Structure 1
Amino acid sequence: MSMYEEGLKLMEEKFGNGKDNNISLATIALESSADGKPCPNVRVVDAYYEDGTFYAVTYGKSNKMQEIAQNSEVSIAACHEMFTACGVGENLGWVLAPQNAEIRNKLRKAFSDWYDMANNEKDENCVFLAIHLTKGILNINHWEKLYHMDFINKYCD
Protein backbone atom coordinates (compact mmCIF):
# COMPACT_ATOMS: atom_id res chain seq x y z
CA MET A 1 0.00 0.00 0.00
CA SER A 2 1.40 3.41 -0.98
CA MET A 3 1.72 6.20 1.56
CA TYR A 4 -1.11 8.05 -0.26
CA GLU A 5 -3.39 4.99 -0.01
CA GLU A 6 -2.45 4.66 3.66
CA GLY A 7 -3.35 8.33 4.19
CA LEU A 8 -6.69 7.87 2.42
CA LYS A 9 -7.45 4.88 4.62
CA LEU A 10 -6.72 6.95 7.72
CA MET A 11 -8.89 9.78 6.38
CA GLU A 12 -11.76 7.33 5.94
CA GLU A 13 -11.26 5.97 9.46
CA LYS A 14 -11.13 9.43 11.04
CA PHE A 15 -13.76 11.28 9.00
CA GLY A 16 -15.67 8.75 6.88
CA ASN A 17 -18.04 5.90 7.61
CA GLY A 18 -21.04 8.22 7.84
CA LYS A 19 -19.64 10.45 10.62
CA ASP A 20 -20.85 13.97 11.36
CA ASN A 21 -17.61 15.98 11.51
CA ASN A 22 -17.14 19.52 12.79
CA ILE A 23 -14.59 21.28 10.60
CA SER A 24 -13.47 24.88 10.40
CA LEU A 25 -14.05 26.30 6.93
CA ALA A 26 -12.15 29.38 5.81
CA THR A 27 -13.11 31.50 2.82
CA ILE A 28 -11.96 34.88 1.52
CA ALA A 29 -14.25 37.76 2.51
CA LEU A 30 -15.88 39.84 -0.19
CA GLU A 31 -14.53 43.02 1.39
CA SER A 32 -10.83 43.72 1.80
CA SER A 33 -9.12 44.95 4.94
CA ALA A 34 -8.49 48.68 5.50
CA ASP A 35 -5.13 48.33 3.75
CA GLY A 36 -6.68 46.55 0.74
CA LYS A 37 -5.59 43.01 1.60
CA PRO A 38 -7.91 39.99 1.41
CA CYS A 39 -9.51 39.00 4.71
CA PRO A 40 -10.19 35.41 5.72
CA ASN A 41 -13.51 34.36 7.21
CA VAL A 42 -13.74 31.18 9.22
CA ARG A 43 -16.65 29.27 10.67
CA VAL A 44 -17.40 25.76 11.91
CA VAL A 45 -19.62 23.56 9.74
CA ASP A 46 -20.92 20.03 10.09
CA ALA A 47 -19.44 17.97 7.28
CA TYR A 48 -19.70 14.48 5.86
CA TYR A 49 -16.52 13.02 4.30
CA GLU A 50 -16.26 10.68 1.32
CA ASP A 51 -13.49 10.08 -1.24
CA GLY A 52 -11.49 13.29 -0.77
CA THR A 53 -14.51 15.57 -0.44
CA PHE A 54 -16.32 17.04 2.56
CA TYR A 55 -20.02 17.82 2.11
CA ALA A 56 -22.13 20.27 4.09
CA VAL A 57 -25.71 21.49 3.90
CA THR A 58 -26.06 25.26 4.05
CA TYR A 59 -28.02 28.29 2.96
CA GLY A 60 -27.23 29.32 -0.61
CA LYS A 61 -27.31 33.05 0.21
CA SER A 62 -25.03 32.76 3.25
CA ASN A 63 -21.79 34.73 3.40
CA LYS A 64 -19.74 31.57 2.88
CA MET A 65 -21.60 30.66 -0.30
CA GLN A 66 -21.37 34.21 -1.66
CA GLU A 67 -17.64 34.21 -0.90
CA ILE A 68 -17.14 30.81 -2.55
CA ALA A 69 -19.02 32.07 -5.63
CA GLN A 70 -16.39 34.84 -5.94
CA ASN A 71 -13.36 32.74 -4.97
CA SER A 72 -13.79 28.98 -4.70
CA GLU A 73 -10.43 28.43 -2.95
CA VAL A 74 -11.07 27.39 0.66
CA SER A 75 -9.18 25.94 3.61
CA ILE A 76 -10.38 23.59 6.31
CA ALA A 77 -9.15 22.33 9.65
CA ALA A 78 -10.28 19.55 11.94
CA CYS A 79 -8.45 20.27 15.16
CA HIS A 80 -9.51 17.13 17.02
CA GLU A 81 -7.87 15.02 14.29
CA MET A 82 -5.04 17.46 13.46
CA PHE A 83 -5.91 17.73 9.77
CA THR A 84 -5.59 20.86 7.67
CA ALA A 85 -6.24 21.17 3.96
CA CYS A 86 -6.90 23.41 1.00
CA GLY A 87 -9.63 22.71 -1.48
CA VAL A 88 -12.19 24.03 -3.89
CA GLY A 89 -15.72 24.80 -2.75
CA GLU A 90 -18.59 23.95 -5.09
CA ASN A 91 -22.27 24.77 -4.72
CA LEU A 92 -24.04 21.54 -5.73
CA GLY A 93 -27.40 23.28 -5.74
CA TRP A 94 -30.74 22.59 -4.12
CA VAL A 95 -30.80 19.58 -1.82
CA LEU A 96 -33.91 18.21 -3.57
CA ALA A 97 -32.46 18.45 -7.08
CA PRO A 98 -32.49 14.98 -8.69
CA GLN A 99 -28.69 14.93 -9.13
CA ASN A 100 -28.30 15.36 -5.35
CA ALA A 101 -30.46 12.39 -4.32
CA GLU A 102 -27.54 10.09 -3.43
CA ILE A 103 -25.56 12.63 -1.38
CA ARG A 104 -28.80 13.86 0.25
CA ASN A 105 -29.52 10.37 1.56
CA LYS A 106 -26.01 10.12 3.00
CA LEU A 107 -26.11 13.54 4.67
CA ARG A 108 -29.61 13.02 6.07
CA LYS A 109 -28.35 9.82 7.69
CA ALA A 110 -25.09 11.32 9.00
CA PHE A 111 -26.87 14.42 10.32
CA SER A 112 -30.06 12.62 11.41
CA ASP A 113 -30.02 14.07 14.95
CA TRP A 114 -30.54 17.61 13.69
CA TYR A 115 -31.01 17.68 9.89
CA ASP A 116 -34.78 18.30 9.78
CA MET A 117 -34.67 20.82 12.62
CA ALA A 118 -31.94 22.91 10.97
CA ASN A 119 -32.88 22.75 7.28
CA ASN A 120 -35.89 23.74 5.22
CA GLU A 121 -35.56 21.53 2.16
CA LYS A 122 -38.56 23.22 0.51
CA ASP A 123 -36.46 26.38 0.20
CA GLU A 124 -34.42 26.18 -3.01
CA ASN A 125 -31.66 28.05 -1.18
CA CYS A 126 -31.09 24.98 1.00
CA VAL A 127 -28.04 23.68 -0.86
CA PHE A 128 -25.15 21.27 -0.61
CA LEU A 129 -21.59 22.53 -0.46
CA ALA A 130 -18.86 20.18 -1.67
CA ILE A 131 -15.31 20.88 -0.52
CA HIS A 132 -13.06 19.00 -2.93
CA LEU A 133 -9.69 18.63 -1.23
CA THR A 134 -6.59 19.51 -3.23
CA LYS A 135 -3.77 19.33 -0.66
CA GLY A 136 -3.72 18.48 3.02
CA ILE A 137 -1.63 17.46 5.99
CA LEU A 138 -2.81 14.67 8.24
CA ASN A 139 -0.90 14.68 11.53
CA ILE A 140 -0.93 11.31 13.30
CA ASN A 141 -0.26 11.04 17.05
CA HIS A 142 1.07 14.58 17.50
CA TRP A 143 3.82 14.62 14.87
CA GLU A 144 4.60 10.89 15.01
CA LYS A 145 3.77 10.69 11.31
CA LEU A 146 2.75 13.33 8.79
CA TYR A 147 0.93 12.67 5.55
CA HIS A 148 1.42 15.52 3.07
CA MET A 149 -1.39 14.57 0.73
CA ASP A 150 -1.85 15.76 -2.84
CA PHE A 151 -5.44 14.81 -3.68
CA ILE A 152 -5.12 16.00 -7.29
CA ASN A 153 -2.05 13.95 -8.25
CA LYS A 154 -2.89 11.19 -5.77
CA TYR A 155 0.49 11.40 -4.12
CA CYS A 156 1.80 11.62 -0.58
CA ASP A 157 5.23 12.39 0.83
Structure 2
Amino acid sequence: MSEFKESLEVLEALFAKDCQFALATVSGETPSVRIVDTFYDDGGFYIVTHAKTRKVIELMSSPNVALCHDLYRFSGTAINLGHPLKEVNLKIREKLTKVFAPWYFAHNDENDEHMCFVKVDLKDGFYYKDGRGYKVDFLNQVAKIFPFDFDIDETVL
Protein backbone atom coordinates (compact mmCIF):
# COMPACT_ATOMS: atom_id res chain seq x y z
CA MET A 1 0.00 0.00 0.00
CA SER A 2 1.28 3.46 -0.84
CA GLU A 3 2.01 5.92 1.96
CA PHE A 4 -0.64 8.26 0.57
CA LYS A 5 -3.31 5.55 0.56
CA GLU A 6 -2.35 4.52 4.09
CA SER A 7 -2.55 8.15 5.23
CA LEU A 8 -6.10 8.41 3.83
CA GLU A 9 -7.17 5.28 5.69
CA VAL A 10 -5.81 6.71 8.94
CA LEU A 11 -7.48 10.06 8.23
CA GLU A 12 -10.82 8.31 7.81
CA ALA A 13 -10.31 6.23 10.96
CA LEU A 14 -9.57 9.36 12.98
CA PHE A 15 -12.09 11.83 11.61
CA ALA A 16 -15.03 10.07 9.90
CA LYS A 17 -17.12 10.96 12.94
CA ASP A 18 -18.27 14.08 14.80
CA CYS A 19 -15.04 15.94 15.64
CA GLN A 20 -14.58 19.44 16.99
CA PHE A 21 -11.94 21.58 15.30
CA ALA A 22 -10.93 25.21 15.46
CA LEU A 23 -11.71 26.71 12.05
CA ALA A 24 -9.68 29.75 11.04
CA THR A 25 -10.90 32.14 8.35
CA VAL A 26 -9.74 35.60 7.39
CA SER A 27 -11.36 38.92 6.56
CA GLY A 28 -8.89 41.30 4.96
CA GLU A 29 -5.86 40.90 7.18
CA THR A 30 -7.80 39.92 10.30
CA PRO A 31 -7.98 36.23 11.22
CA SER A 32 -10.97 34.75 13.00
CA VAL A 33 -11.19 31.41 14.79
CA ARG A 34 -14.12 29.43 16.13
CA ILE A 35 -14.88 25.83 17.14
CA VAL A 36 -16.98 23.82 14.68
CA ASP A 37 -18.21 20.26 14.43
CA THR A 38 -16.73 18.48 11.43
CA PHE A 39 -17.02 15.16 9.65
CA TYR A 40 -14.35 13.83 7.28
CA ASP A 41 -15.45 12.15 4.07
CA ASP A 42 -13.80 11.61 0.70
CA GLY A 43 -11.06 14.22 0.79
CA GLY A 44 -12.66 16.92 2.88
CA PHE A 45 -14.18 18.02 6.14
CA TYR A 46 -17.88 18.93 6.19
CA ILE A 47 -19.49 21.56 8.42
CA VAL A 48 -23.21 22.21 8.90
CA THR A 49 -23.88 25.92 9.29
CA HIS A 50 -25.81 28.99 8.16
CA ALA A 51 -24.90 31.15 5.16
CA LYS A 52 -25.20 34.38 7.18
CA THR A 53 -22.60 33.39 9.78
CA ARG A 54 -19.31 35.24 9.90
CA LYS A 55 -17.37 32.11 8.90
CA VAL A 56 -19.37 31.61 5.70
CA ILE A 57 -19.28 35.30 4.80
CA GLU A 58 -15.49 35.30 5.27
CA LEU A 59 -14.84 32.12 3.32
CA MET A 60 -16.94 33.39 0.42
CA SER A 61 -14.46 36.26 -0.07
CA SER A 62 -11.34 34.35 1.03
CA PRO A 63 -11.76 30.57 0.79
CA ASN A 64 -8.38 29.60 2.29
CA VAL A 65 -8.99 28.18 5.77
CA ALA A 66 -7.23 26.16 8.44
CA LEU A 67 -8.47 23.50 10.86
CA CYS A 68 -6.74 22.58 14.11
CA HIS A 69 -7.40 20.21 17.03
CA ASP A 70 -4.67 19.27 19.50
CA LEU A 71 -1.65 18.75 17.24
CA TYR A 72 -3.78 17.80 14.22
CA ARG A 73 -3.73 20.56 11.62
CA PHE A 74 -4.99 21.03 8.08
CA SER A 75 -5.24 23.76 5.49
CA GLY A 76 -7.67 23.81 2.63
CA THR A 77 -10.14 25.61 0.47
CA ALA A 78 -13.67 26.04 1.81
CA ILE A 79 -16.70 25.86 -0.44
CA ASN A 80 -20.30 26.70 0.43
CA LEU A 81 -22.17 23.70 -1.01
CA GLY A 82 -25.54 25.33 -0.45
CA HIS A 83 -28.70 24.03 1.18
CA PRO A 84 -28.78 20.45 2.53
CA LEU A 85 -31.86 19.59 0.46
CA LYS A 86 -30.26 20.48 -2.86
CA GLU A 87 -30.14 17.31 -4.95
CA VAL A 88 -26.33 17.40 -5.16
CA ASN A 89 -26.14 17.42 -1.32
CA LEU A 90 -28.51 14.55 -0.55
CA LYS A 91 -25.80 11.86 -0.38
CA ILE A 92 -23.63 13.82 2.10
CA ARG A 93 -26.76 14.98 3.96
CA GLU A 94 -27.60 11.34 4.69
CA LYS A 95 -24.15 10.86 6.25
CA LEU A 96 -24.22 14.17 8.16
CA THR A 97 -27.66 13.61 9.67
CA LYS A 98 -26.45 10.22 10.95
CA VAL A 99 -23.10 11.31 12.33
CA PHE A 100 -24.55 14.50 13.84
CA ALA A 101 -27.80 12.76 14.92
CA PRO A 102 -27.64 13.86 18.59
CA TRP A 103 -27.94 17.53 17.58
CA TYR A 104 -28.52 17.93 13.82
CA PHE A 105 -32.29 18.54 13.83
CA ALA A 106 -32.32 20.16 17.27
CA HIS A 107 -29.97 22.93 16.10
CA ASN A 108 -30.67 23.20 12.37
CA ASP A 109 -33.79 24.25 10.51
CA GLU A 110 -33.85 22.82 7.01
CA ASN A 111 -36.81 25.11 6.26
CA ASP A 112 -34.39 28.03 6.53
CA GLU A 113 -33.16 28.85 3.03
CA HIS A 114 -29.80 29.99 4.44
CA MET A 115 -28.86 26.70 6.09
CA CYS A 116 -25.88 25.26 4.25
CA PHE A 117 -23.10 22.72 4.15
CA VAL A 118 -19.50 23.84 3.89
CA LYS A 119 -16.80 21.51 2.60
CA VAL A 120 -13.12 22.09 3.26
CA ASP A 121 -11.17 20.49 0.41
CA LEU A 122 -7.80 19.63 1.91
CA LYS A 123 -4.49 20.98 0.64
CA ASP A 124 -2.12 19.69 3.33
CA GLY A 125 -2.16 18.39 6.86
CA PHE A 126 -0.49 16.70 9.77
CA TYR A 127 -1.99 14.05 12.03
CA TYR A 128 -0.83 11.03 14.01
CA LYS A 129 -2.01 7.66 15.21
CA ASP A 130 -0.43 4.69 16.96
CA GLY A 131 3.09 6.17 17.15
CA ARG A 132 3.18 7.31 13.53
CA GLY A 133 2.99 10.83 12.14
CA TYR A 134 1.45 11.64 8.76
CA LYS A 135 2.44 14.76 6.85
CA VAL A 136 0.26 14.86 3.76
CA ASP A 137 0.18 16.95 0.59
CA PHE A 138 -3.34 16.21 -0.64
CA LEU A 139 -2.98 18.23 -3.84
CA ASN A 140 -0.02 16.17 -5.07
CA GLN A 141 -1.19 12.98 -3.32
CA VAL A 142 2.05 12.57 -1.41
CA ALA A 143 2.43 11.49 2.20
CA LYS A 144 5.40 11.18 4.51
CA ILE A 145 5.00 8.71 7.38
CA PHE A 146 7.42 8.81 10.31
CA PRO A 147 7.71 7.77 13.95
CA PHE A 148 5.82 10.23 16.14
CA ASP A 149 5.37 10.33 19.88
CA PHE A 150 2.89 12.83 21.30
CA ASP A 151 4.99 13.98 24.22
CA ILE A 152 4.54 17.53 25.45
CA ASP A 153 6.37 18.48 28.61
CA GLU A 154 3.67 20.43 30.44
CA THR A 155 6.18 21.77 32.95
CA VAL A 156 7.47 24.20 30.31
CA LEU A 157 4.01 25.50 29.34
Could you tell me which residue of structure 1 aligns to residue 115 of structure 2? 126
Give distance in 2, aligned partners of 1:7 and 1:13: 10
Which 4+ stretches in 1 moved above 3 angstroms?
A: none
Cα displacement string for residues 23-44 of structure 1 (whole angstroms, at most 9, x for unaligned residues): 11100025xxxxxxx1211111
The Cα shift of 1:99 comes to: 1.1
Tell me by how many angstroms 1:145 deviates: 3.1
User: 2:67 aligns to what SS in structure 1?
Assistant: strand
Other-structure match for 1:41: 32
- The normalised TM-score by structure 1 is 0.87
State, as a whole percentage, how many aligned pairs show the same letter: 36
Structure 2 partner of 1:70? 61
RMSD: 1.2
Q: How does 1:1-157 map to 2 (within 5 A)?
A: 1-16=1-16, 19-30=17-28, 38-79=29-70, 82-140=71-129, 144-157=131-144
Q: How big is each residue's C-alpha offset from its partner over 1:12-62, in whole Å with a ceiling of 9 and x where there is no partner? A: 11111xx111111100025xxxxxxx1211111111111220001101010
After TM superposition, give the deviation of residue 137 of structure 1 in Å: 1.0
1:87-111 Cα distance to aligned partner (Å, 9 max, x none): 0000000111111111111100001
1:7 touches 1:138 (CA, 8 Å); kept in 2?
Answer: no
Unaligned segments of structure 1, at least 5 residues: 31-37
Cα distance in 2 between the residues matched to 1:70 and 1:127: 16
Q: How many residue pairs align between the two structures?
A: 144
